[in-house]
Amino acid sequence: MSVISTNPSAVAARRDAYDASLRGRRFIATNLINTPIALPTALLATTPTLMLRLSGASRRVVFRSIIISLTSVGGGDQLRTIVVPDTTDRWVSGGTLHPPYSMNEESSVASAVTGFYSNPTASAAGAGVRLGTHMASLNSVGLPFGINYGDGFILGKTSSLLFYVFTTTTPAANAFFTAEWDEVE
């Protein structure tokens, strides 16, 4: 059973999220159908598994959630996930671009996100880096897991949100993902 908070701050955040959806400013990024991303077998600081990039954007991002579902099992019994926000644009090159789509099908509003990439090259951590999430989950096909930031994880107009998702030994795993965020002034 789900309990909906009546806390005034939570109610206001839900109202803002609904307003973002109505104005076409709630976005998702995901894999192409039947095209999983490759997960590494170790933490590689300059090669995040996924990266949301903002570079002088017109709006800030309120990151809501990400769901990851393995399509093949990697080595070891754990899948590690680390989420790292940084106040700098860490994208250097490469990666596969996953274009953001508005959750409001009638909207023609473009996302302010400069790019959402899988397996790009990133620069070293900036002075504004912090740890957002560090977790371990089962390394199992068909058992999706999600990270829900509830009322949001706010990113500045120039920043990065890096996701490191990896197994602890070879072979590497593959996965589908869906990320969701709102954009605000």
**Chain centre distance of CA 155:** 12
Domain extents in the chain: 8-184
Q: What is the reported pLDDT for 16? A: 63
Q: What is the reported pLDDT for 92? A: 96
Q: What's the whole-model pTM score? A: 0.85
Q: Between the CA of residue 83 and those of 20, 135, 148, what are the distances in Å?
A: 24, 9, 12
Q: Encode pLDDT of 7-61 as tens digits.
A: 665 566 556 665 665 555 889 999 988 899 999 988 888 999 999 999 998 888 9
Q: Running DSSP on this structure, what letter comes out for residue 39?
A: P
Q: What is the reported pLDDT for 75? A: 79
